[in-house]
Amino acid sequence: MIKRQALLMAAVAAGLSMTAMAETAGTWTVGVGVGHVEPDSKNGNLGDIRIDHIDPDVRPTLTAEYFVADNVGVELLAALPFHHDIIIDIPNVGMREAKTQLLPPTLSLQYHFDNVHANVKPFVGVGANYTTFFKERSGVEGLDMEIKDSWGVAGHAGIDFKINETDAVRLDARYIDLEPDVKLGGEDAGTAEINPWVYGISYVQRF
């Protein structure tokens, strides 16, 4: 057991000693990939109407990051509109399928670690998300639905697997605090607790 622990510690120390070059100030990266939005499984109520669940969706994404200091970058996430079906349970009516589309641009401040492994660079970040909703439909004839635009905090973490000095494959995950107000028939109905995880894979190029 002692020998195994010693070997493990030696391996970790060897990995940490393979220091990768820092992302220098003034560097740009651009990433093209796909994002999978997975809303929370508990989405709250709109008055007497229960939000049963919100379906996930996958869309192309684009990121651009500028390093304001060594290893410290400011990243903007953009995407094509996500489409979500919203299953609602209406008393004395039953299940109905509402719909919406949304755009979730997110601005994050990120720190990239450079002392792990030459070809692996993890990063963490935190920022602000602004989600705008459009083309809402309640699924009930004659009942208008409006989901208000919403601001929220977004956490971000990921790993870049370097292919060469300029290119990498990125795996990442974001948690977005997203709880927009909803109107039904022009009246305030409550808050939708969406709070999604966004999982992504992308190809990132450094300039």
Is pTM, for the whole model, over 0.75? yes
Query: Rounded to the nearest 5°, which phi and psi values hold at 17?
Result: -75, -15
115: which DSSP letter?
S
Per-residue pLDDT reduced to its tens digit, 119-141: 899 999 999 999 999 999 998 88
Domains of the chain (ranges; CATH) run: 27-206 (2.40.160.20)
Of the pLDDT bands very low, low, confident and very high (cuts 50, 70, 90), residue 82 is: very high
Residue range 142-156: average pLDDT?
Answer: 96
Cβ neighbours of residue 108 closer than 8 Å, sequence gap 6 or more: 74, 75, 77, 125, 126, 127, 154, 156
Query: Rounded to the nearest 5°, which phi and psi values hold at 13?
Result: -65, -40
